[in-house]
Amino acid sequence: MKIKWLTALFGILTLVSCSGPVDPKENKKEIPIDQNSKDLIYQYSIIDALLAGVYDGDMTFGELKKHGDFGIGSFNHLDGELYINDGKVFKLRYDGGIQEIPDGDSTGIAFVKFFNPDTSFVIEQKNLTYQKLQEKLSGILNRNGIYAIRIKGNFTTMRGRAPKPANKPYAPLREYLSGGGQSDFQFENTTGTCVGFFMPPYMARTNVPGYHVHYMSDDRKNGGHIFEFNTDRLMIEVDRAKGFIIEENSSAEMDTVDLARDRMKDLQKVE
């Protein structure tokens, strides 16, 4: 019995020796995420990093469009507002110019989704403001839900902004914008489309809680981050997401920035 036991043990040791050490890399399997089928919002970087002055990143728009054909955000150096609709990427500049952006350009922060509306409806009301629209939508949408929203209409007035390109060393966003780092716009009798998101309160510090919307006119002459508008009729499309994915900004500044401080008051000032 003892001889048989030693023979079996020798066989086991020989097998382990012949097979060699196990390389953990060989067992690592990449699990692809199908962004479209999972109906998720994808975001590159977080809003608190932007508030702290992390304006640059290496996410190209060619790569970003693999995660969504609809969205908003910014550009490296804070050079304008980002507007994505139907897979086309536009820069809404501080000087009023609007240009379509090639895939090779990069962003420091962006929120995108493949837009597949679950529902659409029309709202008609005299002197319908952006604030009144939010109140109406709040009675329709689940306050804990995550939504992509597209809004089309004729606007008698619209007020918005676009940031100017920033120079290093970057100041925090609130300080930079309040110090002359943005242009304010007032449009009249403009027709176009707003794209944006509604985020629930628990998304604070990663995204913008509430409504965050950018606008571009059909003639590509007006656009920006929206503060207020007035209209009589709107076409609304709503796409509820099942969740979200966050990819960390890969710039060197992300490794050293202080993200411990609560910047909610700063966000309320700039939004």
pLDDT score, position 163: 98
What is the domain extent for residue 160? 38-264
Phi/psi at 174 (nearest 5 deg)? -60, -45
Residue 38, SS3 per DSSP:
helix
Closest by CA to 237, choosing from 123, 118, 128, is 118
Q: Is residue 1 part of a domain?
A: no
User: Domain holding 117: CATH number?
Assistant: 3.30.1330.80
Q: Is residue 21 part of a domain?
A: no
Residue bearing tokens 């609007």: 98
pLDDT score, position 167: 96
User: Where is pLDDT greater, at 24 or 128?
Assistant: 128
Q: What pTM was estimated for this model as a whole?
A: 0.86
How confident is the model over 206-252, as pLDDT tens digits?
999 999 999 999 999 999 999 999 999 999 999 999 999 999 999 99
CA distance 49 to 134: 26
pLDDT score, position 34: 58
CA distance 89 to 70: 9
Q: Is residue 11 part of a domain?
A: no
Structure tokens at 175: 């300080």
Q: Is residue 226 part of a domain?
A: yes
Q: Is residue 177 part of a domain?
A: yes
Q: State yes or no: pLDDT of 157 exceeds 50.
A: yes
How confident is the model over 93-111, as pLDDT tens digits?
999 999 999 999 999 999 9
Q: State yes or no: pLDDT of 24 exceeds 70.
A: no
pLDDT score, position 33: 52
How confident is the model over 179-189, as pLDDT tens digits?
999 999 999 99
Q: Is residue 240 part of a domain?
A: yes
How many domains, in total, are found in the chain?
A: 1
Q: Is residue 157 part of a domain?
A: yes
Q: Is residue 23 part of a domain?
A: no
pLDDT band at 26 (very low <50, low <70, confident <90, very high): very low
Q: Give the burial class of 165: count Cβ atoms within 10 A of its Cβ; 0-12 exposed, 13-18 middle, 19 or more buried.
A: middle
pLDDT score, position 32: 55
